Amino acid sequence: MNASSAALFEKFNKLKISAGNHSPSLTTLKAEMPEIEIKVDACFLSNPYATELFLKYFKKELLDTGEINNVLEFYPSQNNEIANLVGRHLQIDPSRIFIGNGATEVIQAIIHHFVKDKLIVNIPTFSPYYSFALPGTEVVYYELKKEDNFRVDPDDYIAFVTKNKPDSLVLINPNNPDGGYIPHQEIIRIIEELSWVPTIIIDESFIHFAFENSSLKLPSIASLLDKYPNVHIVKSMSKDFGIAGIRCGYAILPAEKVTHLLNTGYLWNSSGLAEYFFRLYTRKDFIVEYEEVRKKYITESLFFVTELNRIPKIKVYPTKANFVLVEILNGQTSDEIATELLLNYGIYARNCSDKIGLHGQFIRVATRYKEENEYIISSLRDIFK
Ligand SMILES: *Cc1c(COP(=O)(O)O)cnc(C)c1O
């Protein structure tokens, strides 16, 4: 590293530290480091085709008609009205739906209100699941091993939970940051055998990228919840619908837990734009078009992963999400590779050096538009040649 890139690296690291367990936003990076040109943002995990689709509707129905004025000037519907829409769409009793200002708020609500003495979290993970735990909650980590490709082994997991007797546990499916997927039959088996755990949280924020066979049908377990009253589904719309900026998420909870939350706040925690999104989400015309961009993006992502697998000196872990966890095996650190990608190629990837439970050097790379994926591939080939 020469002196000027060392200075840039230093500056970038400071920004990263001030973002805690997350990455600096693109807006922050652009404002604070105008000297770097970001060509591809492969840090944030979103389907860019879905963002385009949302924007098409947004322009036609809100901007071109002037309706945007009402969305901005007036209050949106209250939480329970948006829950009615979403519940009807999902064919789930709306009294079980809790709307959040992004799933991060949903996670905070569940962890602060319903998790009690002991919570089992698989690592590596999405950090709010442990960082939001209240002081009285013991967080017990179940470590997924890179030797097993970060796979959850149902027998081993069930034995671990049985031994630890938690009141709550979290399974993210597919998991962030490794993309590991628990097949439908296995997750059902885990839920059935652990029916004595009062609060089972299943985070399906990346489920729209997962599939079990070539039909690419959505493998969500949300429709089965009537059978499993202790199962709580958390769903972010940020990544699969490409709308992290408007903060949309929800949970499916027992009705009395939704009532408890609504009695302690969360009245207008959604926004007019989020309500507009949720209304689109429940519309057939939008969903038909969305299914097309979802499948197109999955197909392109599969191709991206195949190409990544051909690059020497890295290991690409199996994924069913829209990103890949890449282990660096050429002796360089993830700090070095992430910096090189950013400064020399304009590619913003997630340096995973702060992720607990990862032993080795890892970066996480999101899949993007086809041309951007090609650029990422050629840049990594260049680095690891
Ligand atoms: C990103 C993420 C969320 C939260 O997303 P929001 O933008 O707050 O909706 C929740 N769970 C997982 C696993 C995530 O990766």
Between the CA of 67 and the centroid of ligand 1 the distance, in Å, is 29
CA proximity to 369, closest of 325, 288, 303: 303
CA distance 127 to 355: 8
In a domain, 180, yes or no: yes
Q: Is the CB of 203 under 6 A from ligand 1?
A: yes
278 in the same domain as 293 = no
Q: Is 150 left (phi over 0), alpha (psi -120 to 50) or beta?
A: left
CA distance 217 to 209: 10
Pocket test for ligand 1, best of 23, 122, 170, 176 (most atoms within 8 A of CB): 176
97 in the same domain as 37 = no
CA distance 81 to 198: 28
CA distance 122 to 136: 19
Position 317 scores a pLDDT of 98
Between the CA of 281 and the centroid of ligand 1 the distance, in Å, is 18
- The 3-state DSSP class for residue 23 equals coil
Between the CA of 107 and the centroid of ligand 1 the distance, in Å, is 9
Q: Is the CB of 168 under 6 A from ligand 1?
A: no
Position 1 scores a pLDDT of 58
In a domain, 348, yes or no: yes
State in Å, rounded, how far the first CA of the chain is from the last one: 18
Block means of pLDDT (10 residues each) for the chain, 385 residues, are: 72 79 79 86 95 98 97 93 94 95 97 97 96 97 97 98 98 97 96 97 96 88 88 97 96 96 90 96 96 96 97 97 97 93 93 93 97 97 95
Between the CA of 313 and the centroid of ligand 1 the distance, in Å, is 31
Atom index in ligand 1 nearest the CA of residue 239 equals 1
- 364 has which bridge partners? 325, 350
CA distance 1 to 7: 10
Pocket test for ligand 1, best of 25, 46, 99, 104 (most atoms within 8 A of CB): 104
**CA angle at residue 180 from 205 to 188, to 5 degrees?**
75
Position 139 scores a pLDDT of 98
Q: Is the CB of 103 under 6 A from ligand 1?
A: yes
In a domain, 67, yes or no: no
Domain boundary among 260, 282, 304: 282
Is the backbone peptide bond immediately before 124 cis, with ω within 30 degrees of 0? yes
In a domain, 58, yes or no: no
Position 214 scores a pLDDT of 87
**CA angle at residue 274 from 26 to 366, to 5 degrees?**
35
CB 230 within 8 A of CB 200: yes
Atom index in ligand 1 nearest the CA of residue 244 equals 7
Between the CA of 373 and the centroid of ligand 1 the distance, in Å, is 23
Residue that is written with structure tokens 């924007």 in the block: 55
The burial of 263, by beta-carbon neighbours within 10 Å (0-12 exposed, 13-18 middle, 19 or more buried), is given as exposed
Position 2 scores a pLDDT of 66
In a domain, 336, yes or no: yes
Starting at the earlier edge strand, list the strands of the sheet with 199-203: 97-101, 248-252, 231-236, 199-203, 168-172, 118-123, 138-143
244 in the same domain as 359 = no
In a domain, 70, yes or no: no
212 in the same domain as 325 = no
Where b means 16+ CB within 10 Å and e means fewer, 222-256 reads beebeebebbbbbbbbbbbbbbbebbbbbbbbbee
In a domain, 102, yes or no: yes
Between the CA of 262 and the centroid of ligand 1 the distance, in Å, is 21
315 in the same domain as 273 = no
Q: Is the CB of 339 under 6 A from ligand 1?
A: no
What domain count does the chain have? 2
For residue 322, give its domain range: 3-52+287-383
